[in-house]
Amino acid sequence: MSRSVRTRPEGSGQALSEAYDTALLDLDGVVYAGGSAIAYAVESLAEARAGGMRLAYVTNNALRTPDTVAAHLTELGIPTGADDVITSAQAVARLISEQVPQGARVLVIGGEGLRVALRERGLVPVESADDDPAAVVQGYGGPELPWGRFAEAGYAVARGVPWFASNTDLTIPSGRGIAPGNGAAVEVVRIVTGAEPQVAGKPLPPMHRETILRTGAKRPLVVGDRLDTDIEGAFNGDVDSLLVLTGVTDGAQLLAAPPRHRPTFVDADLRGMLRGQPDVVAVGDGGFGCGGWTATAGADRLELDGDGETLDGLRALCAVAWTAAGAGVCELDGEKALARLGL
C-alpha cells in the first residue's frame, strides 16, 4: 500500500475521543507501569468511555488470559470485561487455525494465555515434540519457563513442523528493570534450527486484524508508547495513532522516527484523548510553528524559539525533523532544542 510520508503531527478540532469510535490501547507504559495505573489514566479512560468511545486493550503479552488482564484493570479502577482485551495469543491462534485442521495438536512453548486461545479456536495444546503436533507456537512464558521447552520447540521445528510466534518483542518491562521478552526466546529456537516463524503480534497485520474483528471498530485510534510496535502497527493497519510519552519513547527517538514510526498525534498522557490537538503550521522559510514555539533547521541542528506548552514545542520540532528527513531518519542534532523543553 502506498502512503504519503508524514512530515508533521496532525491537528484535530475535535477531542480525539469524539473523532474516533474505538481506542486500541496498549497497556504497559500507557495504562499502567509496574502493575500500578499511570497518572491520569483511570480518570481519562472513564471520561472517554462515558462520552461513547469504546475502549479495547491490545497487548503483545501472550502469558496472561483476557480474563486475567480484565481483572487487573478492574482492580485498578478501570472496569473491563474479557471481551475488551485482545492479546497476541488470540491473534496467533487464529493464524494457526487458518493453516491446520480443526482439532489439530499444537506444541505450546509458553503460558496459559496461549493454551486458552488455542482451545478457543478448536485446537489441542500439547507439551512434547513427540505428540505429533501440526504446529509449534511460542509466546512469553514468564521468567520460570524451563529451558527444556526451547529444546522441544527445536526438535519439532527441525522436523519441518510449521512454527509460529505470538510476538517478537526482545524485551519486557518488569518491576526490577528490563527482562528478556518472547523475541529473545524465539531467537534461541531460530539459532538452533535456522528457521523463521510466522509472527502475529504488533506491529504485524494479524494483530491489527484481530483487534478489528473483535471490536468491530470503524474508525479506530491506536494509543501507545512504543514506536516500533504500537505506532508501526497503526502504520501497517493504515489507521491513525496517538503516542503518549508515559512509556519508553523519549523526545530524541520521536524526532528521529522513520515514516512508519511517526504518530498522527503526540501528547503527554491519556488526557490527550479528551481534547483536540493543536495544528502545526508552516512559518517563514522552512520553519514550523505550534502554540508559542517556532522550530527551524540550521546547518547541522534543530533550533527552537519562543515559549509556551512543552508539547507544542515538541510538535513543532517533529515537523522540522521529519520534513528534513523525508523518508529517512533525521540526522540533525536536536539535543539543545529538546533540553530547552526539559525533554
Q: CA of 24: how far to CAs of 218, 228, 234, in Å?
A: 12, 16, 10
User: Rounded CA gap, 274 and 43, in Å?
Assistant: 10
User: Rounded CA gap, 138 and 310, in Å?
Assistant: 42
Q: Which amino acid is at 88?
A: S
User: Rounded CA gap, 199 and 195, in Å?
Assistant: 13
**Alpha-helical regions (H) of 223-264:** 232-237, 251-255
Per annotation, catalytic residue among 21, 28, 238, 269? 28
303, three cell numbers: 533550533
Q: Which amino acid is at 203?
A: P
Per annotation, catalytic residue among 26, 169, 225, 267? 26
User: Rounded CA gap, 280 and 291, in Å?
Assistant: 8
Report the candidate in 266, 269, 298 with the shortest Cα–Cα distance to residue 279.
266
Place of cell 513427540: 130
Catalytic site residue 269?
no
Catalytic site residue 28?
yes
User: Which residues are annotated as catalytic?
Assistant: 26, 28
